[in-house]
Structure 1
Amino acid sequence: MVKAKRLLSVVLVGMVAVSTLSACGSTNNSGQKNDSATNSGSAGAGSSDKKVTLSLQTPYADESNVNLKTLRRLIGEYTKAHPNITINVDALTTDQQKLKLKTQAASNEIPDITSLNPGAQMKPFADEGLLAPLDDVLAKDGLKDTFKQGVLSNYTFGGKTYGLPETLDIAYVYYNKDLFKQAGVEIPSTYEELVASAKKFNAKGIIPLTIGEKETWTGSFFLMNIVLREAGVGFLKDVMDKKKKFTDAPYVQSLAKFKDFINAKGFEEGAVSVDYATAQNLFLSGKAAMYFTASWDAGSIENSTIKDSVGVFPFPTVDGKGDVSEFMLSPGNSYVISAASKHMAEAKDFLHFYMTNFPKVMFELKGGVGLAQNVDGDFKAAGYSQTAIDVLNLFKTVKGGDLAFDNTIDPTTTQTHLNGVQNVFVGDESAADTAKQLQNDFEMNNP
């Protein structure tokens, strides 16, 4: 297993590079690309008359998502240049995609191209030989050099790289300045102030913070920010190394603090029935004062009607503990290729084309914040909002942090954790009992 310490160190190296982001190709008024906008890919894989259909699975189901817009646009451009190739897209939510992929992997029917997160999520697929190494794709035309230093180590096992990532993210809170003013709320500098703000927002009929817990990773991501403040950097690594336990005070206290915000009606009503896209829309439509997320949503904010009313702040201290310059870090979603693909050459050629042009198109569509690849150009001159500039500045403050639970702990224990977090929303089980169940499962899965 790639250890959390190693993962963290390489992510932080990449984070430093974010401060040097700079943009790229453009489109003309007809929406067609200028010659410099995209590289049409090699002729080799698609130059024959052989008809090929590639299956591609993506964790973006919302058509307004800038990543999905970019994917569809680049598929259109590639298949126009390679008319013998058809690419069928299976667009799912994150949780749907993960569940479906598990089923497909069990029968060795993984799509030609699909999505996986790094670390503990990717390792079992690599260990079982289900993924094709992509080092040859990276070597072609200098693609490897477009990625921020160190980021690809998160997707590398046994000296081979299996995933090409889209993003390199930090977690924070977006807030609606107008709704804060309406409710008379200041930016919370402590978790206790965050909990207290819920009462003021609810009194004005405003959702305090939207999360979308139907997709269970969202609650986990919020909780792990509390753990980061209570326990400091490295708690999950210490659990993996058997130096600490989930039954230790910091994790139990964090669960209790999480429940405090739920009891204060801090999240949207019926959060466990609200999916990620709906939760995001509650914020974008001005119904929620805050939106807890990460920089992968910068593009959605940038393309919204409320972007000029939005600010950002880091997750606050908890019980006077924690450093707001330490963030939950997320080397993000990557595309992988099935080792059993019957169209390996075509799949690799498309993925090379996609990753070569991804940063240019994302920048153009105002989704250029928090990418795993370098972006050439000036965000401010390109018309990015102050909110986007604020996020870029937030990156510059990063001096440490931790990886998400599911990037660090084995998948089976992670599922127990996700179930436990969701039960906090709807159940009466004590924090101590929830932690004890998690620790028992961890010990069983990691003897």
Structure 2
Amino acid sequence: MKKLSIIIISLLVVLSLTGCGKSTDGGAKATTDVNSNTQKPVTLSISMHVANVKDQEPYMYRIVQKFQEKYPNIKVDLQGDDTDTHVKKMKMAAQANELPDIFWMLPAPAKEMNKAGMLLDLTDFIKNNNEIASSMDPKLIQGYQDGGKQFGLPYQALVTGLWYNKALFDQYKLKVPETYDELLAAAKVFKSHNVVTIAKGAKDAFSTWAFLGMLTRYGYFDKIDNILAGKEKFNNPDFIKFYQKIDDLRTAGAFPENVSTLSYFQAVDMFASGKAAMLDAGVWETKKLESSPIAKNVGFSWGPTFSDGVGNQKVAMVVGAAPLVASAEVKKDAAKYDATTKFFQFFYSQEGAAIMAENEAPPVVKYNGKVDKEKYPVYASVLEQMNLPGWVRPVAQPDLVLSEAVASALNDSIYGVINGIFKPSDALNLIDKKAAH
């Protein structure tokens, strides 16, 4: 009888220890490192949208390495493909119910997967991790809510606008433009000295970021729901005004003469070598520009405001680029669910933010650390703009709230005007035609 009592007590102790190791609160707080180091080994599969994560997304690679150091019993199988291949593979994996545990996904297909019940609902994660929720812009969180579920969280902040070379503006005694009128006036001066005002390459039609930001200053997000519902058109008086301004920039010679045959990457090289005053791009070019001959003179702006614009003109294009999502299947395995929760906690922690900052990527959460302005002048200029008071952030980049087909038509319409192929009205009709299908 005494032996039986000992056995029962031992079993109760084992069961209580097992209970302590489980996460039953939707990922409230990470278990201690001691518990994580004694839990059974688990492999977490993570799939990304670049072919070489180590070289192309170095901050993600370093976050994964540091995460594994912190949790040695969690092994991460990190895979990647170019964006188009990755998206296709994820769609096929969803159909076969073989999604990776965590993966990057475009917003539109991620929403479809969420509606089909394939993605982990992160609502409890947000509720139970107040330090993460409070350090993240609410709009970045709201952008990935649908059907009452938090289907993902922003992988990184999409920060886009106009890079500028202050040395060229100083050389021709020009002010770095804050308004459209100043930009147009500068374009005419630069053209007279055979200097490109805005480096752009139409061979990559997706490279319209700064112009999408400008479009938000003509009431884009006030109109888009009605446009998509068929109650209004892209070809409306306000958007016409903006497209006419693009055409005026073209007439003033603001763009490269061979813009139609240039690629985006050639446009970047043009700016980085000092041959253009501005570049339409985003924060992903920070490292390249940091190592360029013009690094000390590079600044970043949100693009010009417009006297005939609609609504608040101080719109800073800082949005969620695309979400990190998790498969709903991880919930069926306690160890995998715990590992998934721990990864999200680490990714959005100050420790994760520090790794992003070290690699000159803008953290999604508000970073409490400091940046050496002498060592990283280009990165510092971006962070300075991101922290400007009085600037609001939209819920998304304009093309990211459209279907892939309509988004493509939007980009094509902008380049159509830049190339002189379309008149403003014809360019907007092109989008309406695609939206009607």
- Tell whether the structures are fold-level matches, with TM greater than 0.5: yes
How do 1:19-418 residues align onto structure 2 when only pairs under 5 Å count?
A: 52=43, 54-58=45-49, 68-80=57-69, 81-82=71-72, 85-90=75-80, 92=82, 101=90, 110-116=99-105, 118=107, 120=108, 122-135=110-123, 137-138=125-126, 144-145=132-133, 147-148=135-136, 150-151=138-139, 152-168=141-157, 171-198=160-187, 200-201=189-190, 204=193, 206-219=195-208, 221-231=209-219, 234-240=222-228, 242-262=230-250, 264=253, 266-267=255-256, 269-270=258-259, 274-275=263-264, 279-294=267-282, 306-318=294-306, 320-321=308-309, 324-339=313-328, 344-345=336-337, 346-356=339-349, 357-367=351-361, 369=362, 371-379=363-371, 385=377, 387-388=381-382, 390-394=384-388, 396-399=389-392, 403-418=396-411
User: Which residue identity does 2:150 align to in structure 1?
Assistant: T
Structure 2: segments with no counterpart, 5+ residues: 1-29
Structure 1: segments with no counterpart, 5+ residues: 1-38
- Give the aligned CA root-mean-square deviation in angstroms: 4.2
User: Which residue identity does 2:154 align to in structure 1?
Assistant: P
1:92-141: per-residue Cα shift (whole Å, max 9, x none)?
A: 35x665566556556665444322355x5642232123322234544666
The 2-side partners of 1:203 and 1:64 are apart by: 41
The 2-side partners of 1:321 and 1:142 are apart by: 38
- Shift of the 384–265 alpha-carbon distance from structure 1 to 2, 3 Å rule, reads closer
The 2-side partners of 1:121 and 1:73 are apart by: 27
Offset of residue 428 of structure 1: 2.5
The 1-side partners of 2:93 and 2:289 are apart by: 33
Q: TM-score, normalised by structure 1?
A: 0.71
SS of aligned partner of 1:403? coil
Any conservation in 2 of the 1:167–1:296 contact (CA below 8 Å)?
no
The 1-side partners of 2:369 and 2:160 are apart by: 24
What residue in structure 2 maps to residue 437 of structure 1? 430
SS of aligned partner of 2:161? strand
SS of aligned partner of 1:180? helix
SS of aligned partner of 2:143? helix
% identical equivalent positions:
21
Offset of residue 90 of structure 1: 1.1
Any conservation in 1 of the 2:199–2:278 contact (CA below 8 Å)?
yes
SS of aligned partner of 1:311? strand
Offset of residue 307 of structure 1: 4.0
Larger RCO, structure (CA 8 Å, separation 6 or more): 1
The 2-side partners of 1:71 and 1:268 are apart by: 38
